[in-house]
Chain A
Amino acid sequence: MNQNIYRSMSRGYFILLIPGLILLAFFYVYPLLNGVYLSLTSWDGVSRTKDFVGFSNYINIFSDSRFLNSLSFTFKYAIVSTILSNIIAISVAMALVSKIKFQNFFRGLYFFPAVLSMLIIGFIWKQIYFRFIPYLGEQLNIDVLQTNVLGNQDTVFWALVVVTVWQASAILIIIYMAGLQTIPQEVYESADIDGARGLKKFFTITLPLIVPSITICLILAMKQHLMVYDYIVAMTGGGPGFATESVTLLIYNLGFLNNRFGYGTAAALLLFLMIVIISFIQIYFLRKKEVQL
């Protein structure tokens, strides 16, 4: 019976889907296919003809030290930022769902970074790193902080991670708070009776029950950080030297500065493939850990 209702209604639903499908096809599928074609050419973005070169863009890119360098920076950055922002988000979310004073005020405060655009955040932190941090470094007599950390190849990575974690945590906190509030109080009560305390309670009760939230947060954060662009453009422009050139910035530079549209598109498609594969791996492993009450 269920099947019949489903079938008779499905046509109506299907018609409703059509406008969305057309838009999706026009704005996603067509550009994607066009991109696949461009990545097989040596188009420079200007000439009126596009020379077909087969897979040579893809082959060359893996011996391009600049691409490999940006790839290793991007992965290092994405993994460190994802782990740190999730750890911080879980801790803050647990504090915010517990019975503390000014709970709503703190919730608003911690959500605040999420409402600002990444570019604005980048510019604000750029000023903080230029003016405030060096001042702080002088007062506290910490040598490494006395000059702009964005201008130093050894510190610029961590400077970016701090900003990223600061902003990315905000959204994750909301998701984790929602996840934590779905855990029934009875589970904790029976754990108390069984004598579970502190960390033990966290690792055996809380963590397994918020795995769905962890899945979504890890995927969201990882994808966002692998595609980092705004912070870098606002704060370092990829420098000093090539120290913070992320893959997305490299794609932009290849296409719009170096006139290598075909090559840049190939890099973009590779990044796309990597993100898809990583997301699937994350889903596959984390789904296994999910528990039902």
Chain B
Amino acid sequence: MKKSLILSAILTASLLVGCNTSGESPSNGSGEGSNDGVKTIEFFQVKSEAVQTFNQLIEKFEDDNPTINIEQNTVPDGMTVLKTRFSTGDIPDIFITYPVEADYVLRANNDYLLDVTDEPFIDKVNGEIQDRYIENDRMYGVALSLNANGVLYNKAIFEEHGIDIPQTWDEFMAVNEALEAAGQTPVIMGNQDLGQTSIFNLNFVAQQFDPDYWESLNAGNETIVGDPRWEEAAQKMLDVLQFAQRDHMGTDYDQGNAMFANGEGAMYFMGAWVLPTLRDMNPNFDEEFGYFTFPQTNNPDENVTISGVDVGLSIAADTDYPEEALKFVEFLVDEAQTFADLDGSFSAVEGVEIKDPVLQGLLPHIEEGKVANWPNHYWAGGTAVEADFRSHSQNFFSHQNIEQYLQDLDSMFASYRQ
């Protein structure tokens, strides 16, 4: 009896201790440990391939500003880590944020992000892209670079079979058939990886639907089942799928990259973010491979390239050093040309020239403005609904039943409506 009394007393006491410590911790964990007046700012970024690029820029910045110390932090699965850090109140000073997407909206509406609308550097960014950050008439982030999505192709294979770059959907399918007839694997896909199952198929979706449609879908005014546009998109997914390598469902991202870089297939639907990896795998990558825009339809004027913000930066509202953080972001915007050269991405900042040889293939669409944002950025539910979409798509690639797929998507979108 007595024992259990003491025991419960201890348990209660330790509970209180636990409560106290956890009550104190949500203060801003970063930015501390300053010595000699040096202000440390944590820069949390999720692109592991861009670490070196940022390091070079940070070095330059710190030379100009000896009192500011920028600490770059990159971890695997960064977006999830960032989410946990938000949930525990341990928010980095500067971090990568994508506009429009639900996570951004949620954070902006909960006053987690610093308002940068009136900062002078905003004017240097391409207005059309930067406006994606508008939330309640204010902007809480700035776009730095853009990714783009197209078809990488093996020049040697195309030349060997006398194939020209297809401009329309019919030409594209003819290329596939010709390659297959010649015993080549037309398309490499890594569909075992969930991350890969929403890349080529979103091209059709992005081409078919504009932001207004998504607003209407999010409000519950659209039905996917029976919509001919969705049926067409799903049918085109299956059409492409039959030209993928036999074991595309058992190949993951890394294996797919290796197969394509080693010339085991003629085409690869992939975003520009894969270029550094492929260059590592094949030193002659720039000479042997090219990019062309995905011809979703038979009308070249209607085809679009998916392009979203790749690096966009937000500052925590409760950072200890807002001035210094803004200074660093402004520096990155001013150095956009250096960043684009090192990173090999399209820039969101005006007046930046693209020198990357492979990316040139996508340049015409980008310059003509024939671009569409990632459609999933408009979906209510954010990264969550995107993750579900990937699973449903992977499921669809297995069962190949269009009606089932569209039904799944309908109930998926329904489950995220509030």
Selecting from B145-153, B180-188, B392-400, the interface stretch reads B392-400
- Bound-state CA distance A30–B381 (Å) is 31
- The number of inter-chain residue pairs (CB within 8 angstroms) is 124
Chain B residues with Cβ under 8 A from A48's Cβ?
110
Interface size, chain B (Cβ < 8 Å) = 46
A44 in contact with B106 (CB, 8 Å): yes
Contact flags A126-144 to B (C-beta < 8 A → 1, else 0)? 1001100010000000000
Chain A residues with Cβ under 8 A from B387's Cβ?
253, 257-258
Interface of chain B residues 356 through 387 with chain A (CB within 8 A): 381-384, 387
Of the candidates A126, A150, A259, the one having the most CB atoms from chain B within 10 angstroms of its own CB is A259
Interface of chain B residues 51 through 85 with chain A (CB within 8 A): 80, 83-84
A152 within 8 A of B: yes
A46 in contact with B106 (CB, 8 Å): yes
A14 in contact with B3 (CB, 8 Å): yes
Selecting from A162-170, A189-197, A232-240, the interface stretch reads A232-240
Interface of chain A residues 143 through 170 with chain B (CB within 8 A): 146-153
B249 within 8 A of A: yes
Chain B residues with Cβ under 8 A from A29's Cβ?
11, 14-15
- Bound-state CA distance A44–B394 (Å) is 27
B249 in contact with A256 (CB, 8 Å): no
Interface of chain A residues 235 through 293 with chain B (CB within 8 A): 236-243, 245, 253, 256-261
A47 in contact with B106 (CB, 8 Å): yes
Interface of chain B residues 399 through 414 with chain A (CB within 8 A): 399
Shortest CB-to-CB span from A268 to chain B, Å, is 15
A152 in contact with B250 (CB, 8 Å): yes
B246 within 8 A of A: yes
Chain B residues with Cβ under 8 A from A10's Cβ?
3
Chain B residues with Cβ under 8 A from A202's Cβ?
none
A147 in contact with B18 (CB, 8 Å): no
Q: Which of A33, A151, A245, A260 sits near B192, CB closer than 8 Å? A: A151
B15 in contact with A30 (CB, 8 Å): yes
B395 in contact with A147 (CB, 8 Å): no
Shortest CB-to-CB span from A132 to chain B, Å, is 12
A130 in contact with B255 (CB, 8 Å): yes
Chain A residues with Cβ under 8 A from B110's Cβ?
46-48
A25 in contact with B11 (CB, 8 Å): yes
Instruction: State the majority secondary structure of interface residues on B.
Output: helix
A240 and B106 in contact (CB under 8 A), knowing A26-B18, A150-B192, A258-B387? no
B274 within 8 A of A: no
Instruction: Using C-beta atoms within 8 Å of the partner chain, give the interface range for chain A.
Output: 35 or more
A26 to chain B: closest residue by CB: B18
A257 in contact with B394 (CB, 8 Å): no
Chain B residues with Cβ under 8 A from A241's Cβ?
391-392, 394-396, 398-399
Q: Which of A146, A151, A257 sits near B384, CB closer than 8 Å? A: A257
B87 in contact with A240 (CB, 8 Å): no
A45 in contact with B10 (CB, 8 Å): no
A115 within 8 A of B: no
A147 and B250 in contact (CB under 8 A), knowing A153-B398, A256-B83, A257-B80? yes
A130 in contact with B251 (CB, 8 Å): yes
Interface of chain A residues 6 through 41 with chain B (CB within 8 A): 10, 14, 18, 21-22, 25-26, 29-30, 33
B18 to chain A: closest residue by CB: A30
B250 in contact with A148 (CB, 8 Å): yes
Chain A residues with Cβ under 8 A from B247's Cβ?
130, 134, 147-148, 151
Shortest CB-to-CB span from B405 to chain A, Å, is 10
B192 in contact with A261 (CB, 8 Å): no
B86 within 8 A of A: yes
- Bound-state CA distance A45–B398 (Å) is 33
A256 and B86 in contact (CB under 8 A), knowing A30-B18, A129-B250, A148-B247? no
A147 and B14 in contact (CB under 8 A), knowing A45-B86, A241-B392? no
Shortest CB-to-CB span from B37 to chain A, Å, is 32
A25 in contact with B14 (CB, 8 Å): yes
Chain A residues with Cβ under 8 A from B252's Cβ?
126, 130
B193 in contact with A237 (CB, 8 Å): yes
B203 within 8 A of A: no
A26 and B14 in contact (CB under 8 A), knowing A148-B247, A240-B398? yes
B384 in contact with A258 (CB, 8 Å): yes
Chain B residues with Cβ under 8 A from A153's Cβ?
395, 398-399
- Bound-state CA distance A150–B251 (Å) is 9
A238 in contact with B87 (CB, 8 Å): no
- Bound-state CA distance A126–B190 (Å) is 14
A254 to chain B: closest residue by CB: B384
A46 and B107 in contact (CB under 8 A), knowing A18-B10, A30-B14? yes
B14 to chain A: closest residue by CB: A25
Where the two chains meet, the residues of B that have a C-beta atom closer than 8 Å to any C-beta of A are 3, 6-7, 10-11, 14-15, 17-19, 80, 83-84, 86-87, 103, 106-107, 110, 112, 191-194, 246-252, 255, 381-384, 387-388, 391-392, 394-399
Where the two chains meet, the residues of A that have a C-beta atom closer than 8 Å to any C-beta of B are 10, 14, 18, 21-22, 25-26, 29-30, 33, 44-48, 126, 129-130, 134, 146-153, 236-243, 245, 253, 256-261
Show 24 residue pairs from A and B whose CB-CB distance is below 8 angstroms, ordered by the A residue: A25-B18, A26-B14, A33-B15, A45-B87, A46-B107, A47-B106, A147-B246, A148-B192, A150-B192, A151-B192, A151-B250, A151-B251, A153-B399, A239-B394, A240-B192, A240-B398, A241-B391, A241-B395, A242-B395, A256-B83, A257-B383, A257-B384, A257-B387, A260-B384
Give me the 9 closest cross-chain CB pairs, A-B, nearest first. Answer: A148-B250, A241-B395, A151-B249, A151-B250, A258-B384, A25-B14, A30-B18, A45-B87, A147-B247
